[in-house]
Each structure stands twice: as structure tokens, then as C-alpha cells.
Structure 1
């Protein structure tokens, strides 16, 4: 599985000195010690019911299954664990589900970080009823 992910100096992905295969073989408590503080605290306090269900469905799924039929979830506050690498999730952003394929570099981040909930605003010209000062466009 790790042969398709190549990064780093030697060409193999590592996370805090451990390869992807080593990370996937570790227990949750061992992985927790390597995660950033916020993700570590989330696991320390105990995963919620929805997070537990997502973790179980992710551990049961395979890469081939999720490529065709991704795991749909509203759980944006789930830390990405090594067992999620290669899986495809559809994360809800408040209006629709967006596909997120988990790469090894995403370990320790949250699912919601890769599916933004707010769109960027690009303003056009001043519309009908705008004041004279807002219609002013300086010459360059």
C-alpha cells in the first residue's frame, strides 16, 4: 500500500519517523502519542458516537470500495488516522457533500479542513441604487 505514496528524501512517506506501514500497524493509543495536541486531546476525551461509527466503517472499508462508493459523513471534527489513508470520504459542508481522498500527508488534520464551508466573495461593479461615491472607479 505504501509503495504508491512517495515523498521525502528516500522516496518513502514518513510521519514523525514512522513509515505508513508502521503507523497502520500501531494501536490507536500509540498513534495518538504521535498526533498534534488538538487531535490527541480529541482522542483522550473519547470519540463521540458518530466518530466511533465513522472509525468502524473506515476500518471495515477498502480502497477499492470507497473509490466507487465513498463513505458519506457529516462528521467534520474527526482526526485523520493512518487507517484512513487511501479511503475516499464525502464530507458535508452545509449544503452538499464534497469528495475528499485521504493522502498520507493529511494524517493529524481533521476531515473538515479539506472541505471548506464558506465560499470566497468576489465583488463586481456597484449595482442599482448604489450611491455616487460607491460608483467611483479611480483611473489608473
Structure 2
């Protein structure tokens, strides 16, 4: 359980500010203005301390309450433009269509596929079945995990 003992602000205010920063990726100064519009006067440095202190604990709590995923995955990658640069988007969804994980990579190779599968398995456990296209790199990446 998160401890808010000794904080100047109420728990709800702190959690709202941390959630807003993590969810929407605004700057601390913008978040300071947003909080001020809602009647809470807080400095951007304090907001930074809250994010540093509480976001890791919130992430652990959220991960522990994550629902089980199906053990049948669909994995693919596509080529997308991010900030004017072409990158590969690896993604995995379960048979219900829920996104399991995603990763951006500069290359579409065995190393990138292995890193993606390690990350996805670490976050969701081992699948029973993985459906993917005929990419040799993806197959090799999955074979590296199965050793």
C-alpha cells in the first residue's frame, strides 16, 4: 500500500497529478498550470518529486492487478513513421484482441525480435501458441527464447 504519511497535500491530489503526468506526458510546468486551474497551488518541483516517488509504486501495484491474458498470441510488425523517422513497430495481441505489448525498433532482425519476445514474456508469461507471419527474423527470435 502506498503511504502518504507526512505529505502536505491530500492523497487524491497527489495521485491525480502523478496520473495526469504519466498518462498525458505534459511538462511539469504545464501540469502546474493545470493543477492551479483546479484550485491546487503546487510547484513544478514538487510535482517532479511526486512522480519520482510514487510512479514506480503505482506501476508495481497496477502490474499486480493486471488480468490474465490468453495464452494464444498474434504477433506482427509494421513499418511506421515516428517523429519523421521510419521505425518498426512490433506488437503482440492475445486472441481476445487485447494488446499485450509493443516495441519500436530501428531494425527488423533476429536481435530485435528476441528483445521483443523477452519483453513480452516477462510482462505476460509464456504463451501456449504464437501466430505470426513468415518472417524469418521473428521465427528466429522466438526460437532463441525457446532454447
Provide the TM-score with structure 2 as the length reference. Answer: 0.19
Provide the TM-score with structure 1 as the length reference. Answer: 0.20
Q: If each structure's helix is expressed as a fraction of its own residues, which one has the higher value?
A: 2
Q: If each structure's strand is expressed as a fraction of its own residues, which one has the higher value?
A: 2
> Which one has the largest radius of gyration?
1
